[in-house]
Amino acid sequence: MFENLSDRLGGVFGKLTRQGALTDDDIATALREVRVALLEADVSLPVARNFVKSVTEKARGQAVTKSVTPGQQVVKIVHDELVHVLAGEGKSPELRIDNPPAPVLMVGLQGSGKTTTTAKLAKRLKDREGKRVLMASLDTRRPAAMEQLAVLGTQVGVDTLPIVPGQTPVQIANRAKQQATLGGYDVVMLDTAGRLHIDDELMAEVEAVRDAAKPRETLLVVDGLTGQDAVNVAEQFDGRVGISGVVLTRMDGDGRGGAALSMRAVTGKPIRFVGLGEKMDALEEFHPERIAGRILGMGDIVSLVEKARETLEAEQAERMMKRFQKGQFNMNDLKGQLEQMIKMGGMSGLMGMMPGMQKMSKQLDEAGLDDRMLRRQIALIDSMTKKERRNPDLLQASRKKRIAAGAGLEVSDLNKLLKMHRQMADVMKKMGGMGKKGLLRGGLG
């Protein structure tokens, strides 16, 4: 599905070999291709549209490094955004299987790989977490499916509930729970019946089983090769039965993850595992990075840009240190520091490494310099003219009002920022005098 994406991007980015900042034209051209490729890969239109919008915003105004082309830089941004969309907000939670016997309901269409995945997951829980697992097939209409689970159970060394002909799925579910309690099992996995298509009868049956079993996890198994269909299936199952996570199978196939991309964005449900083959150990935890890598197929470029960016940051840091050593510290330097703080998640950045600044950085941290506040301060600096940034003493009352208004803030906010700058500049000046003695060098190593 996604072969096209690498090809298309390769073609476009090949042309973007000029050095220099990314122009809006560069970005627009490249992202038109990304959008077409996503749609061809069966990613839903709103997801593709949002994706492109978000990448565009991030690509604008990117600092450009000497050793990479604008095209390569876009690849990196696309990659990061893929990871972001795949991962959703926050990390995928662990399976909630702590209260034994924890029922895990496996649902999905016939042929999606549900039975195989049930056995794979049981094996995984047994091998990696030392859980005692009992599996039961509820597919009363297909005796072969029940047999299949029993065979797989023997193969992976996981118990299956003995088959009793004539029982309903709900009866089997109840018997499985009972058996799991009596037998001291940690987890009881219920492999529900599938159909070729979603129909009312199937949903009613799964609902009844759910009500009887009260599962801690309801995992939907879907075929990763089916793209948009997989997402529709997920939405329908979630609407009727409620699912807690998704397992995407056949991710070892030619498809390169279109379903994964839409799944998270459309359903909001975490992808828990991916199936990577028919073997019983071909089940992997879901790693957004890996899937993004596969979708894009441009791992080399991604790491190249990562390295180049590190170099650029080192160069910037060095330039800044040189200025500090000369006792120079204007609003641009302050902005650089604030940006650094946002990135480092606190004051542990450059400043934190310098003797004399550690105390102040601690004070700033304690003053509640959170991201939002840092961004506001940057907005204030951005509202100043170049001249004012180099020499904030020029600021008159009327300009202060304009600048504060420009950033949507009060003059008192601006005054606080100016005070902070003055204090820091003072420290820099003092330290500048000591620079020759090598005081500053120690900090950067």
Residues annotated within a binding site: 108-115, 191-195, 249-252
Which of 44, 65, 92, 112 is close enough to bind ligand GDP by CB under 6 A? 112
Which of 111, 183, 239, 355 is close enough to bind ligand GDP by CB under 6 A? 111
**Structure token pair of residue 28:** 């627009």
On whether the CB atoms of residues 340 and 316 are closer than 8 A, the answer is: no
Query: Is residue 318 a contact residue for ligand GDP (CB under 6 A)?
Result: no
x/- site string to ligand GDP, residues 214 to 253, per CB under 6 A? -----------------------------------xx-xx
Separation between Cα atoms, residue 418 and residue 24, nearest integer Å:
34
Exposure string for 223-236, b = 16+ CB within 10 A, e = fewer = bbbbbbebbbbbee
The SS3 assignment for 141 reads coil
Task: Determine the interface stretch with ligand GDP among 17-25, 112-120, 398-406, 434-442 (rule: CB under 6 A).
Answer: 112-120
Which of 56, 110, 228, 232 is close enough to bind ligand GDP by CB under 6 A? 110
On whether the CB atoms of residues 78 and 9 are closer than 8 A, the answer is: yes
Task: Determine the interface stretch with ligand GDP among 14-22, 58-66, 271-279, 379-387 (rule: CB under 6 A).
Answer: 271-279
Cβ within 8 Å of residue 416, ≥6 positions away: none
Query: Is residue 143 a contact residue for ligand GDP (CB under 6 A)?
Result: no
Which of 101, 113, 153, 270 is close enough to bind ligand GDP by CB under 6 A? 113
Closest-approach residue to ligand GDP (CB): 275
Task: Determine the interface stretch with ligand GDP among 114-122, 236-244, 288-296, 337-345 (rule: CB under 6 A).
Answer: 114-122
How far apart are CB 344 and ligand GDP at their closest, in Å? 40
Separation between Cα atoms, residue 191 and residue 344, nearest integer Å:
46
How far apart are CB 119 and ligand GDP at their closest, in Å? 8
Query: Is residue 275 a contact residue for ligand GDP (CB under 6 A)?
Result: yes
Based on its alpha-carbon atoms, the radius of gyration of the chain, rounded to whole angstroms, reads 29
Separation between Cα atoms, residue 75 and residue 7, nearest integer Å:
12
Residue for token digits 């000029």?
18
Separation between Cα atoms, residue 279 and residue 275, nearest integer Å:
9
Separation between Cα atoms, residue 402 and residue 198, nearest integer Å:
61
Q: Which residues bind ligand GDP (CB under 6 A)?
A: 108, 110-116, 194, 249-250, 252-253, 275-278, 282
